[in-house]
Amino acid sequence: MSNGYDRKRVLVTGGAGFLGSHLCERLLKDGAEVICADNYFTGRRANIGHLLNHSSFELLRHDVTFPLYVEVDQIYNLACPASPIHYQHDPVQTTKTSVHGAINMLGLAKRTGARILQASTSEVYGDPVVHPQTEEYWGNVNPIGPRACYDEGKRCAETLFFDYYRQFQLPIRVVRIFNTYGPRMHPHDGRVVSNFIMQALTHQPITLYGDGSQTRSFCYVDDLIEGFVRFMALDGDEPGPLNLGNPGEFTMIELAELVLRLTGSRSAILHHPLPADDPRQRRPDITKAAQKLDWRPLIPLEDGLERTIAYFRHLIDNS
- Which residues neighbour 115 within 8 Å (Cβ) at sequence distance 6 or greater? 73, 74, 75, 109, 171, 172, 173, 232
Backbone angles phi, psi at 314, to 5 degrees: -65, -40
- CB-based contact 116:75 (threshold 8 Å): yes
CA distances from 222 to 140, 191, 245, 275 (A): 29, 18, 11, 30
- Which residues neighbour 216 within 8 Å (Cβ) at sequence distance 6 or greater? 179, 192, 249, 250, 252, 255, 282, 283
- CB-based contact 125:133 (threshold 8 Å): yes
- CB-based contact 192:231 (threshold 8 Å): no
One-letter identity of residue 69: Y
Active site residues: 150
Alpha helices (H) along 185-248: 192-201, 221-233
